[in-house]
């Protein structure tokens, strides 16, 4: 395992002891350091009047922030920050009441302090004492969770004494109060103002530390780290090491791969990007995802060639690669593992990985390993690297790419090498035009259109349809292919209308659709107003409309479908709704509008399917990756599984795998029996899903 250490060096241990203090010196601390280090004294907490020497203050103790972090409630631990903090000797308080209140606050006796301060305020103290009084009241009220009143006094401090030397302390307290109320978005702008405008270095550093703490609470790890790195730049080396230790702790305790990827990508050549990379390597090795660990190590060595861990990770890389090469055969995955498409590629990879691991756990059969290449790593050298992969590693098949635009050039090289290329997601129509070695396990537009049309016509007996589609490639293609299927089954398409995604009002399109229907089969019967009781209103219908078509096909997004179906019902087009896989969103199923109840759509995967093979797959995937599989996961799994089945049937070369995929009429896909058609697309069972009372139910 890789040790998560950066090239930063830890400071020797620091010991803190509390020492006796005067009335004005509450929370005075002594810090003992090794003899070869200059002794630093933590500053005493000054009396309320001592802020008048604030402009002459020197730097804070390097460990004061660390002590506070053990006391006040931020990031899951407590930090009761003192009301005043300033280096140098403390001066006697000018008013004993304020001094006493401060001692009580620091002794966690905020209720007693409040009583004293309210009595003092009732005596109409001198104006020069009011700013200190307001600040102490804000602190005491914050301690007693009376946040609204605390903000009132802190606002008085800011408005009545904008030039006071304790105003910045009041703003820091304001930010803490907002954070305690859960209003982090109100706290952070206050801290940003202090970071940019405060003239006191200590205040800036404290604002930076609090900003980082609050960003951690918001789960914005990279912003938190950036704030703390700014704190490093603003402090002494001793203070900087405390902050780096805080960043190391946060990074080393993070197990979220997405967060670690963000840290690594934000700081690719500097601290703590190195820590994030090493942490990722550990996580991948611990999960036996050697192909991912190899990729992380290679990237780490490029970004940090002189890192103290470089030699150790190089040895680890050699060990992992040797283990990988011990496999008899390989499947290669060539996908965009970096960039905007990385999350989708990650889903495909996890599906492939599950298939490979499942095959490895089965008794008998040759061992098959997994090689992973990043399509986005280096565009200039990608074709050379892909050719090298095909010719040197000789995988039995390559799974990739995600996008149709990358298919032609990869297909040409795969054809030359006689190695099958299986795209798990591209919607490229008829991939066989690109070569005899190209296959597709994606859910294509044509597959969806054929299945939903077959359901409507052959299973439901519908003959006449209207189509309302978004003006996108997805919508236009599905509308065209659905209409083509309807006509092939001797049905009729009455009207086709389009809308812009996000368009809230489609009444014009629906009126045109209704008018077209009335020319053919629709009925419009005038209402006999003499038989109506009561006074007529504008909402009373003057005609009764009966649609002449059987269903409406809406191949759009779930976000739009709910709005569209409600408007369609309002226009008296109360017919069944049909959709495509863009509807597969639980938010859509749970819509309050009953207009979608009973609607049916098609998709390539349904996580709640009752099909035994799907239930087993979902259970294994959840156990392995602690999340639900997606359509992309399933399509990656199918691509790998079909190749692995070919190997178990005796295929030992790319040519043999291709022949198996081409000729077998009953391939075993996750959804059931399947076969590759003449266009290279895997024809497999699709899932028909109905919306019923806020839930998705499988129809077939």
Residue (of 419, 396, 414) closest to 328 by Cα position? 396
CA distance 15 to 31: 6
CA distance 267 to 402: 27
Residue (of 471, 468, 476, 400) closest to 445 by Cα position? 476
CA distance 524 to 534: 23
CA distance 653 to 4: 41
CA-to-CA dists, residue 65 to 17, 72, 107, 198, 558, angstroms = 15, 11, 19, 18, 49
Q: Which numeric CATH code is attached to 262-440? A: 3.40.50.2300
Ramachandran quadrant class, 500 (left: phi over 0; alpha: psi -120 to 50; beta: rest): beta
Task: Give pLDDT, residue 286.
Answer: 84
For CATH 1.25.40.10, the residue range(s) in the chain are 16-252
Helix (H, G, I), strand (E, B) or coil at 676: strand
Residue (of 449, 441, 446) closest to 465 by Cα position? 449
CA distance 205 to 105: 23
For CATH 3.40.50.2300, the residue range(s) in the chain are 262-440, 445-603
* Strand 464-470 relative to strand 438-440, pairing: unpaired
CA distance 276 to 303: 12
CA-to-CA dists, residue 106 to 82, 140, 227, 322, 668, angstroms = 7, 9, 28, 61, 71
Task: Give pLDDT, residue 236.
Answer: 85
- Report whether the peptide linkage leading into residue 153 is cis, meaning its omega lies within 30 degrees of zero: no
Strand partners of residue 465:
493, 551
Q: Calculate the CA 449 to chain-centre distance.
A: 31
Sign of CA dihedral 122, 123, 127, 128: negative
Residue (of 57, 98, 65, 97) closest to 82 by Cα position? 65
The answer to whether the beta carbons of residues 479 and 553 sit under 8 Å apart is yes
- Report whether the peptide linkage leading into residue 62 is cis, meaning its omega lies within 30 degrees of zero: no
Q: Which numeric CATH code is attached to 445-603? A: 3.40.50.2300
According to DSSP, residue 507 is labeled: H
Task: Give pLDDT, residue 62.
Answer: 31
Task: Give pLDDT, residue 585.
Answer: 84
Q: Which numeric CATH code is attached to 16-252? A: 1.25.40.10
CA distance 340 to 530: 65
pTM of the model: 0.69
Q: In whole numbers, what is the pLDDT of the chain averaged over residues?
A: 84
CB atoms within 10 A of CB 223: 18
CA distance 146 to 461: 67
- Start-to-end Cα distance in the chain: 48
**Class of residue 201 by CB neighbours under 10 A (exposed 0-12, middle 13-18, buried 19+):** middle
Residue numbers of the chain with a pLDDT score lower than 50: 1-93, 539
* Strand 577-579 relative to strand 682-683, pairing: unpaired
């Amino acid at each position: 395992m890789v040790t998560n250490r950066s090239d930063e060096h830890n400071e020797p241990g620091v010991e803190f002891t509390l020492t006796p203090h005067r009335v004005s010196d509450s929370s005075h601390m002594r810090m003992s350091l090794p003899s070869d280090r200059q002794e630093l004294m933590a500053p005493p907490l000054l009396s309320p009047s001592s802020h008048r020497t604030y402009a002459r203050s020197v730097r804070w103790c390097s460990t004061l922030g660390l002590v506070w972090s053990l006391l006040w409630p931020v990031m899951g631990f407590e930090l009761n920050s003192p009301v005043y903090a300033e280096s140098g000797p403390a001066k006697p308080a000018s008013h004993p009441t304020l001094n006493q209140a401060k001692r009580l606050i620091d002794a966690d006796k905020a209720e007693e302090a409040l009583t004293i301060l309210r009595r003092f305020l009732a005596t109409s103290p001198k104006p020069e004492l009011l700013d200190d009084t307001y600040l102490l009241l804000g602190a005491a009220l914050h301690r007693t969770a009376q946040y609204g009143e605390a903000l009132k006094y802190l606002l008085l401090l800011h408005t009545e004494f904008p030039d006071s030397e304790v105003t910045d302390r009041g703003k820091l307290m304001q930010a803490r109060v907002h954070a305690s109320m859960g209003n982090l978005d109100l706290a952070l702008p206050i801290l940003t103002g202090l970071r940019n405008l405060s003239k006191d270095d200590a205040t800036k550093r404290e604002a930076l530390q609090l900003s980082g703490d609050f960003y951690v609470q918001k789960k914005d790890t990279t912003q938190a780290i950036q704030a703390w790195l700014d704190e490093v730049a603003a402090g002494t080396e001793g203070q900087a090491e405390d902050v780096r230790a805080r960043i190391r702790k946060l990074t080393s305790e993070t197990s979220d791969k997405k967060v670690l990827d963000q840290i690594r990508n934000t700081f690719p050549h500097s601290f703590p990007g190195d820590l994030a990379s090493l942490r990722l390597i550990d996580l991948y090795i611990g999960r036996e995802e050697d192909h991912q660990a190899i990729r992380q190590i290679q990237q780490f060595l490029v970004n940090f060639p002189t890192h103290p861990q470089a030699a150790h990770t190089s040895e680890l890389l050699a060990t992992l690669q040797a283990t990988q090469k011990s496999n008899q055969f390989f499947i290669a995955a060539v996908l965009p593992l970096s960039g905007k498409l990385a999350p989708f590629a990650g889903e495909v990879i996890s599906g492939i990985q599950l298939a490979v691991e499942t095959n490895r756990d089965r008794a008998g059969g040759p061992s098959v390993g997994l090689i992973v290449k990043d399509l986005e790593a280096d565009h200039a050298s990608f074709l050379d690297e892909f050719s090298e992969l095909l010719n040197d590693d000789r995988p039995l098949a390559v799974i990739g790419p995600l996008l149709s635009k990358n298919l032609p050039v990869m297909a040409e090289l795969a054809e030359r090498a006689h190695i099958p290329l299986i795209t798990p997601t591209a919607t490229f129509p008829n991939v066989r035009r690109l070569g005899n070695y190209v296959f597709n396990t994606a859910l294509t537009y044509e597959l969806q259109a054929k299945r939903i049309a077959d359901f409507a016509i052959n299973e439901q007996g519908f003959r006449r349809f209207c189509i309302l589609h978004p003006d996108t490639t997805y919508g236009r293609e599905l509308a065209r292919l659905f209409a083509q299927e309807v006509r092939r089954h001797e049905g009729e398409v009455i009207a086709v209308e389009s809308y812009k995604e996000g368009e809230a009002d489609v009444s014009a399109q629906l009126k045109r659709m209704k008018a077209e229907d009335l020319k053919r089969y629709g009925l419009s019967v005038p209402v006999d107003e003499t038989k109506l009781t009561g006074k007529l209103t504008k909402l009373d219908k003057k005609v009764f409309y009966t649609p002449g078509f059987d269903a409406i096909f809406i191949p759009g997004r779930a976000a739009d479908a709910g709005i569209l179906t409600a408007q369609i019902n309002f226009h008296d087009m109360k017919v069944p709704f049909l959709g495509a896989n863009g509807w597969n969103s639980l938010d859509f199923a749970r819509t309050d509008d009953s207009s979608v109840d009973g609607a049916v759509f098609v998709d390539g995967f349904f996580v709640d399917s009752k099909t035994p093979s799907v239930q087993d797959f979902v259970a294994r995937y959840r156990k392995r990756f602690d999340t639900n599989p997606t359509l992309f996961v399933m399509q990656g799994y199918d691509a790998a599984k079909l190749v692995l089945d070919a190997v178990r049937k005796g295929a030992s070369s790319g040519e043999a795998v291709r022949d198996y995929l081409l000729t077998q009429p009953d391939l075993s896909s996750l959804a059931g029996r399947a076969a590759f058609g003449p266009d290279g697309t895997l024809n497999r069972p699709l899932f028909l899903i109905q919306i019923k009372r806020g839930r998705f139910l499988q129809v077939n």
